[in-house]
Amino acid sequence: MTGLTHDWPVQASTFCEQFECVDGVGNYDTVNNVVIPASGATEPRAQNSLQHSWEMNYQEAAIYLQEGENNDKFFTHPRSAHALSAYLFAHNHLFYMMELLTAVLLMLLSLSEAPAVPSLRLDVYVHATLELLALVMVAFELCMKLRWLGFHTFIRHKRTMVKACVLFIQFIEAIVVLVRQTSHLRVTRALRPIFLVDCRYSGAVRRNLRQIFQSLPPFIEILLLLLFFMVIFAILGFCLFSRNAVDPYFNTLENSIVSLFVLLTTANFPDVMMPAYSKNRWSCIFFIVYLSIELYFIMNLLLAVVFDTFNGVEKMKFKSLLLHKRSAIEHAFQLLVSRQRPDGVSLKQFDGLMRFYRPRMNARDCFLTFKSLNQSGATMLSLQEFYRFYEVIGLKWKARRSGEHWFDDLPHTVFLIFKGINLLVKSKAFQYAMYLVVAINGIWILVETNMLNDGVSWTRVVPWSYIVFLTIYGIEVFLKITGLGPMLYFSSGWNLFDFSVTVFAFLGLIALAFDMEPFYFIVVLRPFQLLRLFKIKQRYRNVLDTMFELFPRMASLGLTLIIFYYSFAIVGMEFFADVVYPNCCNTSTVANAYRQINETIGNRTVLQEGYYYLNNFNNILSSFVTLFELTVVNNWYITMEGITSQTTHWSRLYFMTFYIVTMVVMTIIVAFILDAFVFRMNYSRQNREPLGDPEDEKGIVFETEVSQTEALQTLDLYKHTLRNTNLSSLQGMCAALERCGQSSLVFLGRRSRTKSDLSMKMYEEEILEWYEEYSTTNLQPDETFHRSLNSPEANATDSIN
């Protein structure tokens, strides 16, 4: 034990200099950041300060690893002890949640601010006060960040600076509102999403935005080409068609340009051609040529360019993330090795690190993680082994069960029954019988719905077919749960889906039985049972699996889109609130869409109902729906022209800008889906394994065998050196080993497969190249360290990097 006591870390933590451990005992070498222990210092004091020094190192190593995981740049790494305390304060889930809630609150305020959703309207002083409070919170968060980063780094961090500026403006405006007791034209509210984007939890959104901005330059170049052709054709169109008096689309150059812009989106297509076409049939050539060039060629070119950029960006992003993680691991490794054994991390140090990095992880899992890293079998982890840190850190450990089934331990008769059920539910026949039932159910629903042409009666009586099919599904779920055991059953996404659909159907039945109106919608979800049919074919399984895999990323893209929506909604509300109403736009070309009047056609009187007044900017929810309609593009010019006729010509700029912005985002979404699918297909082709393989569904699995002696040794080690740890998990392991009666036990660590794992496999060869390139440009930290002993500059550049 005494041997270990004097084992000082090779490199001291940056925070360490502030503490007595250095001033008192070691001579702190300020140039090289290395603590040289004073030989012959008094034992207890040395041990105490050694302990402290190690703790500091563990903490900093954990911070490095966290930074590597979150892709935080190292120049924001805390550099001193009080920076550390601010860092720790600002880096925990409570703080993150506060940050997120404040940002969400600020955004939600627009529900109750001046053009408010009627049921959520708040008094001016109420919402202004709420806003001020939220802004104070944001200011407090910024102060913490300032304290942690230091003024110099704070100024250099662009995002934070923008946030500070926006905060300042919002603050002043909120005070002005509070003083005047009325909202003025507050377009700056459109900047509120910045607070949301800056949240720790919005990392994915930030990545998307970065990707969008990276794709912009080539996008804009092609966009210019598009607009250029548009202008040329507008001049042509004006020259050709302006003599036609009944053609409202080309009577001025401005109208001509607007018509062709709308035609680009096809939203006014045959209509824009019709007046010219009715006069001269050959005029259709103009429109066919225009659409062929613009819509079918240049628009696809846009997609091609974005797709290509996207492809490159995705790979580069993966590369830089990978290298950043590697560098983080190297930094951490340097802080964990000791002076006596400078090329290995022992279990003790690893456990110390984990206490900071994953405070909730128990000693057993920590030991198993260490063992799974430690492939050489030595007592120390080398840097090469430690590089795989991020691959094993997310593993969930479990002892491999000796038996196959959950009912193995039950009495024999019961076992046989369960075994029978197990065999039944695993049989192909059972599966196909269920598919058949679902298919029959599908046809039944279709026929039933088709017969039922008034759509009202079905809510009153429960049809018997509903009960029959539900009973079958219920029995299936019951059999499967008992046959496979709940753990195995719920581990499959498809089973979860079956289960929840069945449960919802039961709830619907109850709703029907007790006649609860608002829950009828559950009954309506019945057809979703049919989705189960898609399990039959491999390709559909792949598609749906990929769909679920893509879901997080899609959600973040959706969120990004919503952020754009929010900004546009605010601007729209400020300028166009309460502008359109029934019969508002009788002077415009789209009057029909807003007209709500009894009119006489021939000699009949009919109610003509134009609903477009509903597509307005009267509150934020309506604005969102209107913007979604604009995103879908069809008939968007009706909304545009309606509002333009009530305001000025410049309103068109708003709609055109919105179209272009959504076009960018949508193109990127398309490029993303394309990329993700093509990637997966290439992956499965390269690795010659079907993606929906049952083996594959389990994700990543690591195996670690633990012998009895090893377990006892570890327990012993923990007992002696790491007194403050909770040892129950390790004791449990030893007990399990004894119970099973074998000399060793295999533990399985599982985690789900991420895109990063697929990329690792796809780019295998390139990754090795990158590593080489990386290690030649950045010196190995080992070498850096040795060099730093001689040249202080080298160390300085390293720490900035």
Rule CB under 8 A: choose which of 146, 223, 227, 253 binds its own copies.
253
- Quick one: how far is CA 517 from the chain centroid? 36
Tell me which stretch binds its own copies (CB under 8 A): 94-102, 175-183, 293-301, 411-419. Answer: 293-301
DSSP sequence for 281-330:
GGGHHHHHHHHIIIIIIIHHHHHHHHHHHHHHHHHHHHHHHHHHHHHHHH
Rule CB under 8 A: choose which of 190, 212, 305, 434 binds its own copies.
305
**Least distance to its own copies, CB of residue 551, Å:** 10
- 585 to 614, contacts with its own copies by CB under 8 A? 592, 595, 597, 599-602, 609, 611-612, 614
- 613 to 642, contacts with its own copies by CB under 8 A? 614-615, 621-622, 625, 628-629, 632-635, 638-639
State yes or no: residue 516 binds its own copies (CB under 8 A): no
State yes or no: residue 308 binds its own copies (CB under 8 A): yes
- CB-CB contact of 328 with 65 (8 Å): yes
State yes or no: residue 400 binds its own copies (CB under 8 A): no
State yes or no: residue 101 binds its own copies (CB under 8 A): no
Going by the DSSP 8-state scheme, the letter that residue 462 receives in this structure is P
Rule CB under 8 A: choose which of 139, 678, 701, 735 binds its own copies.
678
Residue that the structure tokens 């000082």 belong to: 8
Nearest to 611 by CA among 635, 647, 576: 635
**Least distance to its own copies, CB of residue 520, Å:** 8
State yes or no: residue 266 binds its own copies (CB under 8 A): yes
**Least distance to its own copies, CB of residue 251, Å:** 8
Tell me which stretch binds its own copies (CB under 8 A): 342-350, 676-684, 692-700, 701-709. Answer: 676-684
The span from the CA of 395 to the CA of 701, in Å, is 8
- CB-CB contact of 524 with 496 (8 Å): no
Pair of tokens at residue 84? 């550390």
Pair of tokens at residue 651? 């309103």
**Least distance to its own copies, CB of residue 80, Å:** 45
Rule CB under 8 A: choose which of 212, 303, 363, 584 binds its own copies.
303
Read off the amino acid at residue 765: E
Residue that the structure tokens 């702190």 belong to: 28
Burial class of 777 by CB neighbour count within 10 A (0 to 12, 13 to 18, 19+): exposed
State the angle between helix axes of 347-357 and 43-70 in degrees (0 to 180), rounded to the nearest 10.
60
Question: Which letter, b or e, does each residue of 201-214 get, where b requires 16 or more Cβ atoms within 10 Å of its Cβ?
Answer: ebeebbebbebbeb
Nearest to 389 by CA among 360, 362, 349: 349
- 73 to 92, contacts with its own copies by CB under 8 A? none
User: Which of residues 506 and 624 has its CB atom nearest to its own copies in the complex?
Assistant: 624
Rule CB under 8 A: choose which of 23, 126, 270, 490 binds its own copies.
270
**Least distance to its own copies, CB of residue 427, Å:** 26
User: Which of residues 249 and 406 has its CB atom nearest to its own copies in the complex?
Assistant: 249
- DSSP lists the bridge partners of residue 707 as 744
State yes or no: residue 661 binds its own copies (CB under 8 A): no
**Least distance to its own copies, CB of residue 757, Å:** 21
Residue that the structure tokens 């069809």 belong to: 634
Rule CB under 8 A: choose which of 41, 577, 674, 712 binds its own copies.
674
State yes or no: residue 777 binds its own copies (CB under 8 A): no
3-state secondary structure of 345: strand
**Least distance to its own copies, CB of residue 470, Å:** 17
Tell me which stretch binds its own copies (CB under 8 A): 29-37, 299-307, 722-730, 746-754. Answer: 299-307
- 710 to 739, contacts with its own copies by CB under 8 A? none
**Least distance to its own copies, CB of residue 236, Å:** 6
The span from the CA of 634 to the CA of 1, in Å, is 77
CA 383 to each of CA 577, 607, 742, 781: distance values in angstroms, whole numbers, following the listed order: 62, 79, 33, 10
User: Which of residues 218 and 732 has its CB atom nearest to its own copies in the complex?
Assistant: 218
Q: Give the Cβ contact number of residue 35 at 10 Å.
A: 26
- 536 to 595, contacts with its own copies by CB under 8 A? 537, 539-540, 543, 547, 554, 592, 595
The span from the CA of 373 to the CA of 382, in Å, is 9
| H helix runs in 157-184, sequence order | 158-180
With contacts defined by CB under 8 A, how many residues of the chain interact with its own copies? 101
The span from the CA of 301 to the CA of 222, in Å, is 8
**Least distance to its own copies, CB of residue 627, Å:** 11
Residue that the structure tokens 């697929």 belong to: 758
Tell me which stretch binds its own copies (CB under 8 A): 103-111, 333-341, 358-366, 531-539. Answer: 531-539
- Structural element, H or E, at residue 606: strand 604-609
**Least distance to its own copies, CB of residue 160, Å:** 34
**Least distance to its own copies, CB of residue 648, Å:** 18
State yes or no: residue 277 binds its own copies (CB under 8 A): yes
If phi > 0 it is left, if psi is from -120 to 50 it is alpha, else beta; for residue 633 that is left
Pair of tokens at residue 71? 């892709």
**Least distance to its own copies, CB of residue 250, Å:** 8
- 189 to 248, contacts with its own copies by CB under 8 A? 218, 221-222, 225, 228, 231-232, 235-236, 238-240, 242-243, 246
State yes or no: residue 528 binds its own copies (CB under 8 A): yes
User: Which of residues 254 and 693 has its CB atom nearest to its own copies in the complex?
Assistant: 254
Q: Give the Cβ contact number of residue 63 at 10 Å.
A: 26
State yes or no: residue 297 binds its own copies (CB under 8 A): yes
Pair of tokens at residue 653? 């700029």
3-state secondary structure of 268: coil
3-state secondary structure of 635: coil
- CB-CB contact of 329 with 389 (8 Å): yes
State yes or no: residue 111 binds its own copies (CB under 8 A): no
Tell me which stretch binds its own copies (CB under 8 A): 92-100, 297-305, 369-377, 505-513. Answer: 297-305
**Least distance to its own copies, CB of residue 270, Å:** 5
Tell me which stretch binds its own copies (CB under 8 A): 144-152, 252-260, 393-401, 739-747. Answer: 252-260
User: Which of residues 118 and 359 has its CB atom nearest to its own copies in the complex?
Assistant: 118
- 457 to 476, contacts with its own copies by CB under 8 A? 458
The span from the CA of 98 to the CA of 367, in Å, is 34
State yes or no: residue 55 binds its own copies (CB under 8 A): no
State yes or no: residue 254 binds its own copies (CB under 8 A): yes
